[in-house]
Amino acid sequence: MRKEIKIPIHKNHFLKFKSWIDLNLKCKREYEDRVVNTIYYDTENFNSAQDNLSGISNRKKYRVRWYNEDEKNFVYEIKIKKNNLGKKISLKSNSNLKNFKNFFSFTNKDYKNDEAVFFLENINHLDLKPKIKISYQRSYYIFENKVRITYDTNLNYSPLNELDLKNQKFLDNMNVIEIKFDEKNNELAQELLHSSNFIPKRFSKYLRSLYLTGKSIYI
């Protein structure tokens, strides 16, 4: 499992991030930028969101994710958080994105093969509904070849009605820096953080999207 440090900054401070990352000679680009698209799933009562908002130490988020416009190659993901450590469990899909409303249900044929057994063991129940689609552009960097840095911009949120992926978009005025590393590289990550003068803060794109679309009181 790995640690994550999140740093939300106003989008008007883009040059502050750019100056920091460009002047740090130990940082380099890891991949080309790409658009990340994610659909989050939850119970009717938003149990996953409530667990996150309450800060429950052992919690999960359920989602599907694809990159750019490549809707044919999406993956199922369960993001598991235990205290301040996290990991992702993924399962490649053979389905059509048009069937997104049933992805976390017993009717999903992708769960019938042997590869899905481990994934299914980490789902508390198969009665989850699509709640929100989140898209953003992600830039990738690496520090000392050990600590990953991602920078997410142009965040937008679309509430889902289980039938349509092309609903109204809500734009966010925040960007997000994420620093991700193994526990053994904690000192290196702290060195990177101290060089930035940025202030880490708890931030969840899922909770943020529910707030901005009027589904949660989270700020």
- Read off the pLDDT of residues 154-196 as tens digits, 9 standing for 90 and up: 999 999 865 556 668 899 999 999 999 999 999 999 999 999 9
Reduced to 3 states, what is the DSSP secondary structure of residue 2? strand
Residue range(s) defining the domain that contains residue 56: 2-212
> Is 193 contained in some domain?
yes
Considering its fold, how many domains does the chain have in total? 1
> Is 94 contained in some domain?
yes
Q: What is the pLDDT of residue 137?
A: 98
Contacts of 80 (CB under 8 A, 6+ apart): 1, 59, 60, 86, 87, 88, 89, 122
> Is 217 contained in some domain?
no
CATH number at residue 19: 3.20.100.30
> Is 151 contained in some domain?
yes
What's the rounded Cα separation, in Å, for the pair 210 and 157? 9
Q: How far apart are the first and last CA of the chain?
A: 28
| pLDDT tens per residue, range 117-136 | 888 888 877 789 999 999 99
> Is 57 contained in some domain?
yes
> Is 178 contained in some domain?
yes
The set of long-range contacts for 151-158, using a CB threshold of 8 Å and a minimum separation of 24, is: 151/17, 151/21, 151/175, 151/176, 151/177, 151/178, 152/36, 152/176, 152/177, 152/178, 152/205, 153/11, 153/14, 155/205, 155/208, 157/132, 157/133, 157/208, 157/209, 157/212, 157/213, 158/132, 158/133, 158/134
> Is 114 contained in some domain?
yes
Higher pLDDT pick, 219 / 124: 124
Residues 121, 124, 127, 130: is their CA dihedral positive or negative? negative
| pLDDT tens per residue, range 30-56 | 999 999 999 999 998 899 999 888 878
> Is 218 contained in some domain?
no
In the chain, pLDDT over 90 holds for what percent of residues?
62
Reduced to 3 states, what is the DSSP secondary structure of residue 32? strand
Q: With residue 81 as reference, give the H or E element that holds it.
A: strand 75-82
